[in-house]
Amino acid sequence: MENGGIINIELWRLVSAYVFVLLLVLIFKIRGIAREKRLMIATFRMTLQLVIAGYVLTYLFEFSSPALTLAVIVIMEGFAIYTIFKQAGVPLSGNLKKTIAISMAAGTVFCLLFFNFVVIDFEPWYDPRYFIPIAGMIIGNSMTGITLSVKELLQSFNTQRDMIEGALMLGADPKAAVKPYVNHACDSAVLPTINNMLGMGIIFLPGMMTGQILSGVSPLLAIEYQIVILLGILGSVGLSVIIFILLAYKTFFNREAQFIPEGKQ
């Protein structure tokens, strides 16, 4: 049965897709991999969150307003920042948390506004059909990038403490002492986005493009949207990570340029 050119997925067919989750749980049990609980929780949360998002978006699309759209963006940003804190795996200093929040907000908001007002320029500017999905992709990928850079930076500073302190003793300033580890953290954070771009169109078709094609949009128009979306994601990830890196390393040094592995509180 079709709806506007799209084949409707009946409830029993939707439920049948969960067989892949059960299959993976079975494989984990056979192999002795203790991931069944995490997988089930992830599946449940994914389903619940998407169902709620579906109802919220339906309401927003019908009763759109700038206040509602901006409120959703603020909630998305807040949840992304909170997720980074949790994914770090270790307690973060207050200064580092502040740096994460600033870099997430500055990088994503700048790219989102540029994308919406320059690249696409839709009317009205707060149209949730454009604003929210684009914001979701930009914020989500930037969250992943900063999470990777946080983990890599903390790990490097912890394992390379002697090298950093040795460089400081030899006269290097903080920026020079941590430069190799900062650059590596930046590279590790941006690399997944670059790899996605390398395989795009040949190895796999992205979800947004596939969805547009299934809904009847011309493949060429879908490609145009996908190209600008990927470039927007690349810009947002790169900018957010750079802002974080440039601000974050300073939180690991006091005013006397002494290295503090746990960061300033």
Q: H or E segment at 6?
A: strand 6-7
Residue 76 pLDDT: 93
**Mind listing the pLDDT tens digit for each residue in 45-78?**
999 989 998 898 888 888 888 999 999 999 999 9
Percent of the chain with pLDDT over 70: 89
Token pair in block for residue 239: 């900018």
Considering only residues 265 and 130, tell me which one the structure prediction assigns the higher pLDDT.
130
Residue 5 pLDDT: 57
| C-alpha to C-alpha distance for 73 and 192, rounded to whole angstroms | 24
Closest listed residue to residue 136, CA positions, set 209, 77, 205: 77
| C-alpha to C-alpha distance for 139 and 101, rounded to whole angstroms | 12
HSE-CB for 211 with a 13 A CA cutoff: 6
Residue 148 pLDDT: 94
- pLDDT surpasses 80 at 23: yes
Considering only CA atoms, give the Rg of the chain: 22
Residue 244 pLDDT: 94
179 to 53, 75, 109, 113, 176: CA distances (angstroms): 41, 34, 27, 31, 5
Task: Grade residue 152 by pLDDT with cuts at 50, 70 and 90.
Answer: very high
Considering only residues 164 and 211, tell me which one the structure prediction assigns the higher pLDDT.
164
Stated pTM of the model: 0.82
Residue 44 pLDDT: 93
Task: Grade residue 205 by pLDDT with cuts at 50, 70 and 90.
Answer: low
Residue 173 pLDDT: 86
216 to 3, 211, 219, 221, 226: CA distances (angstroms): 11, 9, 9, 11, 15
- pLDDT surpasses 80 at 165: yes
Task: Grade residue 161 by pLDDT with cuts at 50, 70 and 90.
Answer: confident
Percent of the chain with pLDDT over 90: 38
